[in-house]
């Protein structure tokens, strides 16, 4: 809201005065100069998209930008539409006003963030082997590092033609805990926490602060829910340590967060007994076919109306 006001919005306020929705916005934006903290790329992306269409030039200074792959993706799409953005080290952006977007044709690549749940589940379940189609290892999506992560932990990974002809992931029945820098993959925290419980030793997730600003405080939320299943997890402000844990079935609160729901669901696949996850319908936000895909791969999973 501060950025919108800096760029000429007549009004940008929280109706309750607490900085949260409901918000009241009155335009139009004009352009100008603004500054943003870099902990959440979702504040920057919409400003970059709209800035070329404003009457005046726009300058945006960003401090300590995390989640850079998302901004790289944004800039690629703007360029594909005919827009131009000057980018100085992901710290300063200058956008000339008065530009126009044009139509284009492009095949949208597969979503790595959805594929991560299938890849993680495959790596954890002994005897599993899955080939994923439609992904491209050359894509700018940050979460493509999942294949490097599971490989480093001990899973088998085979990439055919940059993934265009398939990516085969197979469990070896043995995973080792590793350290993972999550600076560019904040949405990965929930499933990485589950992976950590299945790995020998401990898994350390660093630079997790951006994940605290999503639909939920995801590190705290997944810790709370996995602990119901017997997981041993330590949480600090910007770091999570997950120890090898024998999970057991439990009743899990999905917190209306699609990534918590899906992470808890794959945890249930490796847990003893039955796991029930509430708010299961929220998977539709990013992976509408999640349950049918998991079930089609042999997962014993079903949708019920009430817990």
- Say which residue the tokens 């817990």 belong to: 307
How does pLDDT run across 198-207, given as a tens digit for each residue? 999 999 999 9
- Say which residue the tokens 């999905």 belong to: 254
pLDDT, residue 107, reads 84
- What residues does 233 pair with on adjacent strands? 242
The domain ranges of the chain are 2-95, 112-296
Cα distance between residue 27 and residue 12, in whole Å: 9
- Pair 80, 226: CB distance under 8 Å: no
118's CB contacts (< 8 A; 6+ apart) are 130, 132, 293, 294, 297
Pairing of strands 86-88, 92-95: antiparallel
User: Would 2-95 and 112-296 be classified into the same CATH topology?
Assistant: yes
Helices 146-153 and 189-198, packing angle to 10 deg: 10
Phi–psi pair at 58, nearest 5 degrees: -130, 140
The domain 112-296 having CATH identifier 3.40.640.10: the answer here is no
pLDDT, residue 186, reads 92
pLDDT, residue 23, reads 96
18's CB contacts (< 8 A; 6+ apart) are none
Q: Point out the residues that are catalytic.
A: 187
* pTM across the whole model: 0.86
HEC string for the chain: CHHHHHCCCCEEEECCCCCCCCEEEECCCCCEEEEEECCCHHHHHHHHHHHHHCCCCEEEEEECCCCHHHHHHHHHHHHHCCCCCEEECCCEEEECCCCCCCCCCCCCCCCHHHHHHHHHHHHHCCCCEEEECCCCCCCCCHHHHHHHHHHHHCCEEEECHHHCCCEEEECCCCCECCEEECCCCHHHHHHHHHHHHHCECEEEEECCHHHHHCCCCHHHHHHHHHHHCCCEEEEECCEEEEECCCCECCEECCCCCHHHHHHHHHHHHHCECCCEECCHHHHHHCCCCHHHHHHHCCCCCCCCCCC
pLDDT, residue 303, reads 80
Cα distance between residue 268 and residue 299, in whole Å: 10
Helices 218-228 and 258-270, packing angle to 10 deg: 30
Sign for the CA dihedral angle at 145, 151, 154, 160 comes to positive
pLDDT, residue 55, reads 96
For the chain, state the CA radius of gyration: 21
pLDDT in tens, the chain (307 residues): 999 999 999 999 999 999 889 999 999 999 999 999 999 999 999 999 999 999 999 999 999 998 899 999 999 999 999 999 999 999 999 999 999 999 999 888 899 999 999 999 999 999 999 999 999 999 989 999 999 999 999 999 999 999 989 999 999 999 999 999 999 999 999 999 999 999 999 999 999 999 998 999 999 999 999 999 999 999 998 999 999 999 999 999 999 999 999 999 999 999 999 999 999 999 999 999 999 999 999 999 988 875 4
pLDDT, residue 106, reads 87
Pick from 57, 68, 67: nearest CA to 33 = 57
Pairing of strands 92-95, 129-132: unpaired
pLDDT, residue 30, reads 96
Cα distance between residue 117 and residue 299, in whole Å: 13
pLDDT, residue 177, reads 98
| First CA to last CA distance, the chain | 39
pLDDT, residue 275, reads 97
Phi–psi pair at 192, nearest 5 degrees: -65, -35
CATH number of 2-95: 3.65.10.10
If you count them, how many residues does the chain have? 307
pLDDT, residue 306, reads 55
């Amino acid at each position: 809201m501060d950025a919108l006001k800096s760029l000429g919005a007549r009004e940008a306020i929280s109706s309750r005065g607490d900085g949260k929705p409901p918000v009241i916005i009155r335009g139009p934006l004009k352009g100008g100069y603004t500054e943003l903290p870099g902990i959440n790329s979702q504040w920057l992306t919409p400003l970059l998209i709209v800035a070329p269409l404003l009457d005046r030039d726009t300058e945006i200074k960003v401090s300590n930008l995390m989640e850079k792959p998302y901004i790289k993706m944004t800039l690629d799409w703007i360029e594909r539409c005919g827009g131009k953005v000057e980018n100085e080290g992901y710290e300063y952006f200058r956008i000339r006003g008065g530009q126009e977007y044009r139509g284009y044709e492009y095949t949208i690549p597969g979503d790595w963030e959805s594929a991560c749940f299938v890849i993680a589940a495959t790596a954890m379940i002994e005897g599993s082997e899955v080939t994923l189609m439609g992904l491209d290892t050359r894509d700018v999506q940050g979460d493509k590092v999942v294949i490097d992560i599971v490989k480093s932990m001990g899973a088998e990974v085979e990439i055919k033609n940059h993934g265009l002809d398939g990516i085969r992931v197979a469990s070896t029945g043995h995973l080792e805990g590793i350290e993972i820098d999550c600076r560019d993959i904040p949405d990965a925290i929930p499933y990485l926490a589950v992976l950590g419980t299945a790995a020998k030793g401990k898994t350390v997730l660093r630079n997790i602060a951006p994940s605290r600003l999503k639909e939920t405080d995801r590190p705290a939320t997944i810790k709370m829910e996995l602990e119901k299943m017997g997981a041993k997890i330590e949480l600090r402000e910007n770091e999570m340590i997950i120890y090898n844990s024998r999970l057991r079935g439990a009743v899990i609160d999905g917190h209306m967060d699609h990534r918590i729901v899906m992470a808890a669901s794959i945890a249930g696949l490796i847990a003893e007994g039955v796991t029930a996850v509430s708010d299961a319908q929220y998977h539709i936000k990013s992976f509408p076919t999640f349950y049918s895909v998991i079930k089609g791969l042999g997962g014993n999973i079903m949708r019920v109306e009430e817990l």
